[in-house]
Structure 1
Amino acid sequence: MALTLYVDTGRWRAHQRSILADFPGLVPVCKGNGYGFGHDRLADEVSMMGLDTIAVGTTYEAAAMKDRFSGDILVLTPYRRTEEPVPLPDRVVRSASSVDGVYGLVGSRVVVEVMSTMRRHGVSPSDLGKLQAALDDVRLEGFAIHLPLDRTDGTDAVEEVIEWMDRLRAARLPLDTMFVSHLTADQLRRLRQQFPQTTFRARIGTRLWLGDHGATEYRGAVLDVTPVGKGDRFGYRQQKAPGDGWLAVVAGGTSHGVGLEAPKALHGMTSRAKGMARASLATVNRNLSPFVWDGKQRWFAEPPHMQVSILFVPAESQGPKVGDEFKAILRHTTTQVDRLVDE
């Protein structure tokens, strides 16, 4: 009995092919938990696509990926002199986000990240004059810019890239290759038309692997079902059942990422009201689970355990049976499954 990720493989790969067509020369991103699929699976998928480069998050991921993927491996986390050294082959390309970082990568293949309106990390415009000398001792693979997902001020992502291209050109730095993140296919075409001598390579993770929501589904298997009456005590904390129904023990607990929720940026009164309502219910131990049964998202009977969750199913619903599966609405990047099944 397991928490399973079911993949409609034909549909999933058809989506990948559509992204490849829209973003020629793309660099697939495989970091963290491999977007729910795992690094082994995504490395195989990239190899089948015939692409020459894959991007990972850290040097530790690169060290593992070198045995899974035979092409170039781009490390997205920028180099710091204080980092623990990790033995890596020459086909690993490091990112640098400061002049000092470039100086620390003598002899290495390097992509230089510039500071975007994300303001996360990157070389600032004022440091471009110092960059030329530092680049003499590395093998420059190109520059990179990581753009924000939302632009609430109405600014244009393409114009931001153009501003940086103009700065790099004014500093007499090479514009052979620019790695970009979070641009649409139309935006990328605009840049290619304006800078025909530059190769633009889109780094894409979420849109590539998770862009077709209907191609994947999580399901947790039912391990046990116990009937309860209103007021019956149960569980670690001996809480009372809110009504007649069943306690369903379903595969999927904290070790899988069930119950883990990342903070969300709320926009508008409706989303804020929903957030306040959820917080109010939580104060009286009413927490909605990610599991769906009989067409409705079900409540946790108590906080999820390490490998299972106990859910309350009211008597007016269809009664679950051992071996049934509850659909689960889970975030791919925080979920670890017991198994992946291709359908």
Structure 2
Amino acid sequence: MALTLYVDTARWRAHQQTVLQQFPGIVPVCKGNGYGFGHERLADEAARFGTDILAVGTTYEAARIKDFFSGDLLVLTPFRLGEEPVPLPDRAIRSVSSVDGVRGLVGARVVVEVMSSMKRHGISEEDLPKLHAAIEDVRLEGFAIHLPLDRTDGSDAVGEVMGWMERLRNARLPLHTMFVSHLKADELAHLQQQFPQTRFRARIGTRLWLGDHDATQYRGAVLDVTPVAKGDRFGYRQQKAAGDGYLVVVAGGTSHGVGLEAPKALHGMMPRAKGVARAGLATMNRNLSPFVWAGKQRWFAEPPHMQVSILFVPGDVPAPQVGDELVAHLRHTTTQFDRLLDH
């Protein structure tokens, strides 16, 4: 009995091909938990469609993935002086976001990240003149810019990239390759047309692996079903059942990522109102689970356990049976499955 990730493999790969056609020279990203699929699976998929490079989040991820992927490995987290050394093959490429970082990687293959409107990390315009001497001692693979997802100020993504292209050109820095993140296909094509001497390579993870929501589905197996009457006590904290119904024990708990939720940026009155409502219900121990039965997400009977969750199914709904599987709406990047089944 397991929490299973089902993959409609043909559909999933067909979506990959659509993205590959839209973004020539794509750099697939495999970081974190491998977007819910695992590093080994995504490395295999990337090799399958023939990419020459795979982007990973950290040096530790690169050290693990190097045994699954034989091409270049682009480490996205910038190098920092004094960081713990991790043995990596020569095909590893380090991102750098400072002149000191470049100087600390003598002989290495590097991609220089420029500061975008994300304001997360990157070389500033003022530091560009200092790069000339620094890049002489490294193998420069290109520059990179990581753009924001939303532009609430009405600014233009293409304009931001073009601005940096002009700054780099004016600083007489080599512009043979520019790695970009969060650009649309038509925006990338426009940039390629404007700067034909530069190869633009889109770093893409979410859109590539998770862009077709219907290609994957999590399901948790039902392990036990116990009838309860209103007022019956149950669980670790011996709470009282709110009404007649069933306690349904389903595979999938905190060790799988069930019940974990990242903070969200809310825009508009309706999303904020819903957030307030959810917070209010939580103070009354009412938390909606990701598991669906009889067409509705069901409430947690109590907070999820390490490997299972206990749901409350009201008595006016047919009870699931042991061995049934409940669809679970889970976030891929925070979920760890017990098994993956292609179908």
**Structure-2-length-normalised TM-score:** 1.00
Shift of 1:118: 0.3
Give the corresponding residue for 2:4.
4
Give the corresponding residue for 2:196.
196
Shift of 1:331: 0.4
SS in structure 1 opposite 2:269?
helix
Give the corresponding residue for 1:269.
269
Distance 1:154 1:60 in 2: 38
* Partner deviation per Cα, 1:162-210 (whole Å, 9 max, x = no partner): 0000000000000100000000000001000100000000000000000
Give the corresponding residue for 1:93.
93
Distance 1:213 1:66 in 2: 29
Instruction: Answer yes or no: is 1:159 the counterpart of 2:159.
Output: yes
Distance 2:63 2:167 in 1: 34
Q: Give the aligned residue type for 1:240.
A: K
Distance 2:90 2:278 in 1: 50
**Residue pairs, 1:29-68, within 5 angstroms:** 29-68=29-68
Give the corresponding residue for 2:327.
327
Give the corresponding residue for 2:219.
219
| Root-mean-square deviation (Å) | 0.4
Distance 1:99 1:183 in 2: 26
Shift of 1:318: 1.8
Distance 2:263 2:132 in 1: 40
Shift of 1:65: 1.0
* Partner deviation per Cα, 1:203-223 (whole Å, 9 max, x = no partner): 000000000000000000000
Q: Give the aligned residue type for 1:111.
A: V
In structure 2, stretches of 5+ residues that fail to align are none
SS in structure 1 opposite 2:111?
strand
Shift of 1:262: 0.1
* Partner deviation per Cα, 1:113-136 (whole Å, 9 max, x = no partner): 000000000000110011111000
Give the corresponding residue for 1:339.
339
Distance 2:74 2:317 in 1: 51
Q: Give the aligned residue type for 2:11.
A: R
Distance 2:197 2:154 in 1: 29
* Partner deviation per Cα, 1:66-116 (whole Å, 9 max, x = no partner): 111000000000000111001111000000000000000000000000000
Distance 1:332 1:23 in 2: 23
Q: Give the aligned residue type for 2:131.
A: L
Distance 2:300 2:10 in 1: 34
SS in structure 2 opposite 1:111?
strand
Q: Give the aligned residue type for 2:194.
A: Q
Instruction: Answer yes or no: is 1:257 the counterpart of 2:254.
Output: no
Distance 1:64 1:236 in 2: 38
SS in structure 2 opposite 1:55?
strand
Distance 2:267 2:218 in 1: 28
Shift of 1:316: 1.0
Between the aligned residues of both structures, percent identity stands at 79
Instruction: Answer yes or no: is 1:23 the counterpart of 2:16.
Output: no
Distance 2:194 2:201 in 1: 15
Shift of 1:306: 0.1
Distance 1:238 1:183 in 2: 52
Instruction: Answer yes or no: is 1:116 the counterpart of 2:138.
Output: no
Q: Give the aligned residue type for 2:196.
A: P
In structure 1, stretches of 5+ residues that fail to align are none
Give the corresponding residue for 1:207.
207
Total equivalences in the alignment: 343
**Structure-1-length-normalised TM-score:** 1.00
Distance 1:285 1:82 in 2: 46
Distance 1:139 1:154 in 2: 37
> Displaced runs of 4+ in structure 1, greater than 2 A?
none
Distance 1:340 1:85 in 2: 33
Shift of 1:48: 0.4
**Residue pairs, 1:297-336, within 5 angstroms:** 297-336=297-336
